[in-house]
Amino acid sequence: MIEQRRSEDQGWRGHIAGLLSSAWDWVDARDIDKHTVSLLILCGTIDLTRWAKAYADLHTHCGVPGSYIALVIAAGLAPYMALQAAALAFYFRART
| Residues 41-81: tens digit of each pLDDT | 989 999 999 999 999 999 888 888 989 999 999 999 999 99
15, part of any domain? no
**Residue-number span of the structural domain to which 42 is assigned:** 31-95
21, part of any domain? no
Classify each residue of 56-66 as buried b or exposed e, where b means 16 or more C-beta atoms within 10 Å of its C-beta.
eeebeeeeeee
Enumerate residues 6+ apart whose C-beta is below 8 A from 83: 41
19, part of any domain? no
How far apart CA 63 and CA 51 sit, in angstroms, is 19
12, part of any domain? no
Enumerate residues 6+ apart whose C-beta is below 8 A from 66: 60
Predicted pLDDT of residue 14: 77
40, part of any domain? yes
